[in-house]
A and B are shown apart, each in its own frame.
Chain A
Amino acid sequence: MLCNVKSKKFIQYVMLAIGMISLAYGVIGIQTAPEDAHDYSMLLGMFSGFGAGLIAVAIFFLIRSKVVSPEKLKQKEIEQNDERSIAVKRAAFSVSWLVALLLFAVLAFVFVGMGMRLASYLCIGALYIQFISFLIAHRICEKKM
């Protein structure tokens, strides 16, 4: 369990570092980007937003691990590792995977209808990647079990 707590803390510090790098890249990039490069500025804005979000989440979890009592943290860990919770999460993931697959397919049709070919190709590409990743994961899990 101690090992689990340590690895979680390590992940939180990694999240914090990635968040800081992403935020710094976004903020510095926006200040140095040419004024007419709107798309590039938007991308940099996304980087800074993503970075700020990661920092906020990492700080929240780091503070929580310091402030919340060890008993409550242990209870939280039991709830997270609880076999029913894991089964519930797996069932929810299966449904959301299917929803995402259908969403990509529907969006591909919608974008073609709107004359946005590139967006449509991206959706079809994402659909294939999602399906191929399922097949790869299935193969790996089949070998393991």
Chain B
Amino acid sequence: MKNRLEELRMERGMRQEELAAALSVSRQTISSLENGRYNPSITLALKLARYFGLTVEDIFIDEEEAL
């Protein structure tokens, strides 16, 4: 699963620590999400979407579906 997390964070000029604090997760989680090593739970995906004012589909891209 690909995502636009890093791009969205950079657009807002945020550091990983700041995003992590806003979502009450660890910085490592944000790093792993951005690198695509970890797929979030639905709860965290919705939290992220709400935080950026987007939908889950706007942030996360299903690679299989994209093909």
Contact = CB atoms under 8 A, between A and B. Distances in A.
Interface of A: 78-79, 82-85, 87
A77 to B, nearest CB: 9
Nearest to A83: B41
Q: Size range of the interface on B?
A: 10 to 19
A84 B38 contact: yes
Contacts of A82: 25-26, 28-29
Interface string B27-67: 01100100000101101100000000000000000000000
Chain A at the B interface: SS class: helix
25 contacts: A78-B20, A78-B24, A78-B25, A78-B26, A79-B26, A82-B25, A82-B26, A82-B28, A82-B29, A83-B25, A83-B29, A83-B40, A83-B41, A83-B43, A83-B44, A84-B25, A84-B26, A84-B28, A84-B29, A84-B32, A84-B38, A85-B26, A85-B28, A85-B29, A87-B38
A83 B41 CA distance: 8
Contacts of A79: 26
Given A82-B25, A83-B41, A84-B25, 9 more contacts: A78-B25, A78-B26, A83-B29, A83-B40, A84-B26, A85-B26, A85-B28, A85-B29, A87-B38
A34 to B, nearest CB: 55
Contacts of A84: 25-26, 28-29, 32, 38
Contacts of B24: 78
Contacts of A85: 26, 28-29
A103 B25 CA distance: 36
Contacts of B25: 78, 82-84
Nearest to A80: B26
B21 to A, nearest CB: 8
Contacts of B38: 84, 87
B33 to A, nearest CB: 8
Nearest to A86: B41
Contacts of B29: 82-85
